[in-house]
Amino acid sequence: MRPVVQAIVILTIGSAALAKEPPLYSSKEAWQRVVPVNYQRRPEFAFVEADTRLPHVLLIGDSISMSYTVGVRQRLAGIANVYRAPDNCRSTRQTLAEIETYLGGVDWDVIHFNWGIHDITHLNDEGRVAPPPEGKHQVGLEQYTDNLRKLVERLKKTNAKLVWASTTPVGQKTEVKGYRRDRDVAAYNAVAAEVLTAEQIAINDLYAPVKPRAEELLSDGVHFTRKGQEALAKAVSEAIRSQLIWFREDFTETPPEIPVQQEHLANPDLILTRLGPGEGQIKRSFHENTPGDPHYVWSGLCPRKWAIAFEHRVSSIDLSGRGKVRWRTKQSADRVLRVIVNTGDGWLVSDRGTPQSEDWIIDEIDLTECRWFRLDIESVTKGELVENLALSRVREIGFTDLMPGGQSKACSRLDWIEVYGKVNQRKKTTQ
């Protein structure tokens, strides 16, 4: 009987060993088990308490990426959950061995990644830094290219939007030591650009803006000062934001009081539609003698209700769960600028919007927190509340205040608009 008992014990232990580990990025305990002990108190490795309504962004990279992680999180707060891989990812060689751990089985929206500064580092046979000829590249250029292709192939399978960050320069404090050289950074960046361009992956060039300021922004010839970290965080967050946004419209500068029209759009991917009985008097305006006054869309001369909408030429947008509108506006006399959407089953208008203000303000409207009402687009009149609404395929989006204009004292003004959500790509139609 004893052998049978032993077999049962072995099977039980084996079954426990096969139990699925908690997801790395959603379990604090799992996260702390994976992050190296020497990194656990560092803020960039803090466990991320995610807002499930927001998109998920992953940063993969070495200590340079570690230095800008917190700054990127701060800049994208309320826009995305920003995670980083649970370690210093160092080289392409290390990441190839650990990529599945780094990805963690998450449905990523954007992955921003880099390897290079460790790959170019010269090491001797004992694994210590040493200039050539004693030292050899940790990962040779040919192997680096092959590793990078393999990593890109794996990252593409995530269906995330991918952004490659070029490797940052080597400054004089390190250059003189010989084991890291800026000419190697340039060579590795060049082959990386070829690989990423061929794969049609966005490139965030962090090398070019840093190079002329390297001695100012680098503390030791490789790592960044606080000022340098802030500059990188700004550049990285802007690159990520550009991947999360459906569109931004700034409009072109025009003479005052001209009816807004298609040729005034700065974004070539958008189609403008003026709507409602007052649509012909929706103007572009500005005050030439007011410093800092923008060129803006203005409803002041609309004798009747009005609306503006934008259609994207090549995609629709999924606003369910992650939809957000961000704009710079100024309303007066109880006007509230609201969001309108066309789902294909008719027009809707949000209950929430941006109210009047004394000056220009930047406001964000979380579309998941809005209630939506039917909108008679011919008269721009709000109708009944729509329950259990799915905004998974919005074709057009725009704005209205549901009121006619009343000159400068009773109107809505809009400087620019950004729309965030999950983009539904569709094929371009031939003209």
Can you tell me whether residue 6 is helix, strand or coil?
Answer: helix
Which candidate, 310, 294, 296, 306, places its Cα nearest to that of 257? 296
Which candidate, 229, 204, 199, places its Cα nearest to that of 217? 229
Average pLDDT score over residue span 362-375: 95
Give the burial string for 282-309 (b: 16+ CB within 10 Å, else e): bbbbbeeeeeeebbbbbbbbbeebbbbb
**Considering the chain, what is the average pLDDT of its residues?**
92
Question: Are β-strands 361-366 and 337-342 bridged in parallel, bridged antiparallel, or unpaired?
Answer: unpaired
pLDDT digits (tens, 9 = 90+) for 255-308: 888 999 999 999 999 999 999 999 999 999 887 777 778 999 999 999 999 999
One-letter identity of residue 413: R
* Nearest-angstrom CA–CA distance, 302 and 304: 5
- Per-residue tokens: 58: 């992953």
**Given this model, what pLDDT does residue 20 score?**
54
**Given this model, what pLDDT does residue 425 score?**
65
Can you tell me whether residue 267 is helix, strand or coil?
Answer: coil
Query: Which spans in 38-181 are helix H?
Result: 63-75, 92-103, 141-156, 172-175
**Given this model, what pLDDT does residue 291 score?**
74
What confidence tier does 428 reach under pLDDT thresholds 50, 70, 90?
very low
Can you tell me whether residue 100 is helix, strand or coil?
Answer: helix
Check whether 17 has a pLDDT greater than 50: no
**pTM as predicted:** 0.79
**C-alpha dist (Å) from residue 38 to 34, 56, 91, 214:** 12, 26, 19, 28
**Given this model, what pLDDT does residue 431 score?**
36
Check whether 309 has a pLDDT greater than 90: yes
More confident site: 327 or 295: 327
**Given this model, what pLDDT does residue 260 score?**
95
Task: Please report where in the chains the tokens 């999360």 appear, as a residue.
Answer: 244
DSSP code at position 190: H
Q: Which helix (H) or strand (E) holds 279?
A: none
With pLDDT > 70 as the criterion, what percentage of the chain qualifies?
Answer: 93
Check whether 22 has a pLDDT greater than 90: no
pLDDT digits (tens, 9 = 90+) for 79-109: 899 999 999 999 999 999 999 999 999 999 9
- Answer whether 375's CB lies under 8 Å from 383's CB: yes
Question: Are β-strands 307-312 and 396-400 bridged in parallel, bridged antiparallel, or unpaired?
Answer: antiparallel
Task: Please report where in the chains the tokens 């004992």 appear, as a residue.
Answer: 126
**Given this model, what pLDDT does residue 429 score?**
41
pLDDT digits (tens, 9 = 90+) for 186-239: 999 999 999 999 999 999 999 999 999 999 999 999 999 999 999 999 999 999
* Nearest-angstrom CA–CA distance, 362 and 330: 9
Check whether 19 has a pLDDT greater than 50: no
Please state the φ and ψ torsions of residue 306, each to the nearest 5 degrees. -150, 165
Residue 392, Ramachandran bin (φ over 0: left; ψ between -120 and 50: alpha; else beta): alpha
